[in-house]
Amino acid sequence: MDERTLISRYFAGRHGSRKDVVLGIGDDAAVLRLEPGWDLVVATDSIAAGTHFPAGIPARAIGHRCLAVNLSDLAAMAAEPLWFSLALSLPAAEPPWLEEFAAGLFALADRSGVVLIGGDTVRGPLSATVTVQGRVRPGAAVTRSGAHAGDGIWVTGNPGDAVAGRLLADDAAQIPATVRDRLRQRFLFPEPRLREGLALGALATAMLDVSDGLDDDIGKLMLASGQGAELDAGLLPLSAELRAAAGDRAIEHALTGGDDYELCFTLPAPAEARLRAVAAEWAVPVTRIGTVVAEPGVRWRYQGRALQVPDTTFRHF
């Protein structure tokens, strides 16, 4: 099929509607209207076959993931998502694949209140690039640079599950099917913590999403804030499924595995009671794993001893 048919059949007729979209898909560019009293927040991420996901995973999961990783960036800024664009590279325009991709994409978009406003399609290696736009009140974005010595270091969810879903679950026949399925789901369909990010906007001093591995990302957070971190690996919220699949390597996967898209944030001690009250309504756990300190560097301990984290975090270059 040609590009016009592809767009009209699978994308143009399936996006939601918002009053702030003056002109959406179908013209040379979209026209959007941001209400007075808001700042615009923009994030772009690409996912490519063979780099961010293995060949053969369901098209529905690729559609979900390409939007989820961008929504996660907005969650880390405590921003409300509004609109997104999609640039899709395809080896071939196959209707069954496109139908499933679009189903995964729009299922998440509808749940998140974000609408597709345009983009591009091209023949080439399989990849998807999404740019998502959101809003925050002026000065309300939570950045990586606000952590202070004495703040607690917290993380949502169960780091390490996603990398286990990618690396371990299919290769370990001895792992129960329920465990494999749970970990696989965490890799294929990461859940951006939008609700949690918005709530943390009034509490956190610094925040980012965990995409490259918890240890590496905490390092980025501390570097941006000009601080250091003392952390206890024994406090990591390891899931029962990760322990069953990874055994003695569960902590390593939690610290170095990527693709979790959980939120890691810092919080002053007076705000902890408020956090616990707010988090009681969340569907995911939130756990304090360490403390911000003035001395630069990220230091982990486990059972009272220094823990050396392996340098196995994925890097593009």
Of 86, 112, 136, which residue sits at a domain end?
136
Query: What's the mean pLDDT in 150-157?
Result: 98
Same domain, yes or no, for 91 and 198?
no
Q: Domain ends where: 82, 110, 136?
A: 136
- Mean residue pLDDT of the chain comes to 92
Specify the number of domains making up the chain. Answer: 2
Does 317 have pLDDT greater than 60? no
Instruction: Give pLDDT, residue 46.
Output: 95
146 C-beta neighbours (distance < 10 Å), count: 17
Q: How confident is the model at residue 38 (pLDDT cuts 50, 70, 90)?
A: very high
Residue 172 pLDDT greater than 60, yes or no: no
Residues 257-271, mean pLDDT to the nearest whole number? 96
* Range 43-59 average pLDDT: 91
Same domain, 194 and 298: yes
**Domain-ending residue, one of 77, 111, 136:** 136
Task: Return the higher-pLDDT residue of 14 and 272.
Answer: 272
Residue 20: pLDDT band (50, 70, 90) is confident
Give the mean pLDDT of 20-44: 89
Q: Is the pLDDT of residue 170 over 60?
A: no
pLDDT of residue 16: 64
Phi-psi group of 64: left, alpha or beta (phi > 0 → left; psi -120 to 50 → alpha; rest → beta): alpha
Residue 107 is predicted with a pLDDT of 96
- Which CATH number fits the domain that encloses residue 290? 3.90.650.10
Residues 183, 300, single domain; the answer is: yes
What's 129's domain CATH number?
3.30.1330.10
pLDDT-derived band at 196, boundaries 50, 70, 90: very high
146 part of a folded domain: no
Q: Are residues 158 and 302 in the same domain?
A: yes
pLDDT at 40: 96
Q: Do 163 and 298 fall within a single domain?
A: yes
Using pLDDT thresholds of 50, 70 and 90, give the confidence band for residue 295: very high
* Together in a domain, 55 and 107: yes
Q: Are residues 159 and 120 in the same domain?
A: no
The verdict on residue 142 lying in a domain is no
* Full domain range(s) for residue 13: 3-136
- Assess whether pLDDT exceeds 80 at residue 14: no
The pLDDT value given to residue 314: 65
In a domain, 16, yes or no: yes
- Backbone φ and ψ for 244, nearest 5 degrees, come out as -65, -35
Q: Who wins on pLDDT, 188 or 173?
A: 188
| Average pLDDT score over residue span 6-22 | 78
pLDDT of residue 238: 98
> By mean pLDDT, which of 64-73, 115-124, 165-174, 204-213 is the weakest?
165-174
Asked, for residue 243, whether it belongs to a domain, the answer is yes
Q: What are the tokens at 145?
A: 């640079």
Q: Are residues 99 and 225 in the same domain?
A: no
In a domain, 315, yes or no: no
Report yes or no on 143 lying in a domain. no
292 within a domain of the structure (yes/no):
yes
pLDDT digits (tens, 9 = 90+) for 78-132: 999 999 999 999 999 899 999 999 999 999 999 999 999 999 999 999 999 999 9
**Do 60 and 130 fall within a single domain?**
yes
What per-residue confidence (pLDDT) applies to 29?
A: 86
One domain for residues 290 and 171: yes
Res 312 pLDDT > 90:
no
pTM above 0.85, yes or no: yes
Q: Are residues 132 and 167 in the same domain?
A: no
Question: Do the domain assignments include residue 71?
Answer: yes
For the cut 70, the answer to whether the pLDDT of residue 15 exceeds it is no
Same domain, 123 and 158: no
Of the candidates 231, 219, 220, 211, which has an alpha carbon nearest to the alpha carbon of residue 153?
Answer: 231
